[in-house]
Structure 1
Amino acid sequence: MFEVSVRGKFSAAHRLRGYEGKCSRIHGHNWYVEVHLQSEKLSETGMVIDFGELKGILGEVLDKLDHRFINGTPPFDRINPTSENMARWIFQQLKARISDLEGVRISKVIVQESEGVTASYWE
């Protein structure tokens, strides 16, 4: 089994609804997102996926969040923009975009909200 990963980042503000604490107020983060892909075999060029292609796909997804108030961006206008929910949403967005790559699957998405604080999602 082979596994590759790339990392991207975005800056955004959010607030947690129904939460008692300072995170209920609007605040921002410089988020880091790491995506891991797995495959049992390599392409003819010896890769799971071209790193540049994967970074581009991740960048398209993160652009939907970058420099925004996440609470106003679907689906976070309905669900809390926690790191856990963002990890799942990013996973689902990426999964739809790589579905045509035979034998390649997303193994995990890790969202880092701040130094030493991460949430992961996998299926």
Structure 2
Amino acid sequence: MEIRKLFRVEAAQHVVRNATSFRCSHSVHNHGVQIELFFKSDRLDNAQMVCDFGILKGVVGKFIDSFDHCMAFWCKDDPEYIRDMQKWNDRWIILPVNPTAEALSIYLCAAVNYLISKVKFANGEGNVYCSRVIYHETSTGYAEATKDDVDLLPDAIGETEFSDGVVSDWTEELVGIMFGNKSFIENKAPKPQVKL
């Protein structure tokens, strides 16, 4: 069983270094991005769902929203360029990957699985995980990464730097998970309405 949750962000993009296209590799640009997250589980929960979308909209949705109206940089880019752009932007992220659709789909798959691993489910959920991410960079082009593709890039989540402007929009739970102050997010078990 697989479910899908769609998120949209207006990604104030970046220069994609080493790209064949001169426009991508030499000009700051943006994309109206759609991010599809797919989730699987080895069983359905007490409500006969893979996972309640409300849980996904919480911590996962807030993390995805980090990329909305946000400059994303590759940590290997010119430090002067990064400093100049940071000076004029409240919201920025320094990534350990080149901000291509391919790398971002892999990065997001790893990050979402990290976040899901920190959720303490309480309604009989099984082994819930993000099975794949489709990162629609434009209306005509996308990259798709599966959980197995995560090995193509280094473990990146701990090497990501988020601006105060991004972090200020996070929930207390997300801040705790991302900065190591909290080991899990606890969901309260719902009161049963039907005998199982």
Q: State the shift of 1:57 in Å.
A: 3.2
Amino acid paired to 1:68: C
Aligned to 2:140: 116
Aligned to 2:23: 22
Cα shift readout 1:54-80 (whole Å, capped 9, x = no counterpart)? 1233322222211111115132xx431
Q: Decide whether the 8 Å contact of 2:60 with 2:115 is kept in 1.
A: no
Higher strand share: 1
Q: Are positions 1:88 and 2:106 aligned together?
A: yes
Aligned to 1:105: 129
Please give the residue correspondences for 1:12-91 in structure 2 after superposition, counting only pairs within 5 Å: 12=11, 13-20=13-20, 21-24=22-25, 25-71=27-73, 73-75=93-95, 78-91=96-109
SS state at 1:70 partner? strand
Bigger RCO of structures 1 and 2 (CA < 8 A, at least 6 apart): 1
Q: Which runs of 4+ in 1 moved over 6 A?
A: none
Q: State the shift of 1:8 in Å.
A: 0.1
Normalised to the residue count of structure 2, the TM-score between the two structures is 0.57
Give the Cα–Cα distance (whole angstroms) in 1 for the partners of residues 41 and 65 of structure 2: 26
Q: Decide whether the 8 Å contact of 1:7 with 1:55 is kept in 2.
A: no
Normalised to the residue count of structure 1, the TM-score between the two structures is 0.88
Give the Cα–Cα distance (whole angstroms) in 1 for the partners of residues 129 and 5 of structure 2: 14
Give the Cα–Cα distance (whole angstroms) in 2 for the partners of residues 5 and 79 of structure 1: 25
- Unpaired runs of 5+ residues, structure 1, are none
Aligned pair count? Answer: 120
Give the Cα–Cα distance (whole angstroms) in 2 for the partners of residues 118 and 19 of structure 1: 16
The share of aligned pairs that are identical, in percent, is 29
Give the Cα–Cα distance (whole angstroms) in 1 for the partners of residues 58 and 32 of structure 2: 19
Q: Decide whether the 8 Å contact of 2:102 with 2:143 is kept in 1.
A: yes
- Unpaired runs of 5+ residues, structure 2, are 74-91, 149-196
Give the Cα–Cα distance (whole angstroms) in 1 for the partners of residues 63 and 102 of structure 2: 16
